[in-house]
């Protein structure tokens, strides 16, 4: 069973680890067979499962339901689960909703934001609830950003992201996710914190990689994001199966053949 201690050991030893989003029992079982290290029940389900145009309509009840699906079917991976949009604005709300996800089977709670989350991160850590803080392109703030845009490109924005990362880790965050930030910035953040850093569109120097499951299986509606690779149709997937795609993804991350420069932002 993968634990936070496992991921910390991976970081110290330079072993790259994998994360995929998952929303139901069958795919969780296939990920289990492929020994995917961490599973994220992402609020991305709003788009790939529910058909919304963003993650914003997803509710805590949705997240609890899908988290329980995964927990019943998983033996190997560490389970992360998103607190959805506006479900952790106040501390009492955040505590109540984090409890719901942990009781459903989550082992780490993922939240989006920066140093403003420090009090929440500390409170949850003291209550035995590890957090993963998502920085960079945070989809719940899509209306603030004015769309899905690369973050941290200016010196000021890069400094803020680095400072936010260090602040939340100092407050007790157990993991970080960096989404759609320049590769050099992601490398700098990863080297500056003691906790494991998971990247998506953040280059190859983060400790782990995460992709939305549907994306890495080639089920992309509309424009394919730059950081996505289709592992289902990859010629190295000799089984031509979903389980084979998951196994190939793990192999590619561990050996360093994914992501490449074509998947990152400068």
Residue 5 burial (CB count, 10 A): 9
Q: Which residues contact 192 (CB under 8 A, 6 or more apart)?
A: 162, 165, 166
SS3 237: coil
Structure letter (DSSP) for residue 149: -
SS3 42: coil
Crossing angle for the helix pair 91-104 and 118-126, to the nearest 10 degrees: 50
How far apart CA 240 and CA 242 sit, in angstroms, is: 7
Q: Is 179 a catalytic residue?
A: yes
The two structure tokens encoding residue 176:
């970080």
Phi then psi for residue 63, to 5 deg, are -65, -40
Q: With 0-12 CB in 10 A as exposed, 13-18 as middle and 19+ as buried, what is 80?
A: buried
Catalytic residue among 61, 75, 93, 179: 179
For the annotated catalytic residues, the residue numbers are 179
């Amino acid at each position: 069973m993968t634990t936070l201690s496992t991921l910390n050991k991976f970081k110290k030893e330079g072993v790259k680890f994998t994360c995929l989003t998952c929303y139901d029992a069958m795919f969780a079982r296939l990920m289990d067979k492929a020994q995917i290290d961490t599973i994220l029940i992402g609020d991305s389900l709003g788009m790939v499962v529910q058909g919304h145009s963003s993650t914003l309509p997803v509710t805590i009840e949705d997240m609890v339901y899908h988290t329980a699906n995964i927990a019943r079917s998983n033996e190997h991976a560490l389970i992360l689960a998103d607190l959805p949009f506006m479900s952790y604005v106040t501390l009492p709300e955040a505590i109540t909703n984090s409890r719901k996800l942990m009781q459903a089977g989550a082992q780490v709670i993922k939240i989006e934001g920066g140093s403003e989350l420090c009090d929440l991160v500390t409170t949850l850590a003291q209550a035995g609830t590890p957090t993963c803080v998502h920085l960079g392109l945070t989809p719940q703030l899509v209306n603030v950003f004015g769309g899905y845009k690369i973050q941290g490109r200016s010196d000021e924005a890069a400094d803020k992201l680095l400072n936010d990362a260090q602040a939340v880790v100092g407050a007790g965050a157990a993991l970080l996710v960096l989404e759609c930030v320049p590769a050099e910035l992601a490398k700098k953040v990863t080297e500056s914190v003691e906790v494991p850093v998971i990247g998506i569109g953040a280059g190859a120097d983060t400790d782990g990689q995460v992709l939305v499951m549907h994306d890495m299986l080639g089920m992309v509606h509309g424009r394919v994001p730059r950081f996505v690779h289709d592992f289902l149709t990859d010629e190295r997937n000799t089984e031509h199966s979903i389980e084979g795609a998951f196994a190939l993804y793990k192999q590619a991350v561990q050996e360093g053949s994914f992501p490449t420069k074509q998947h990152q932002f400068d």
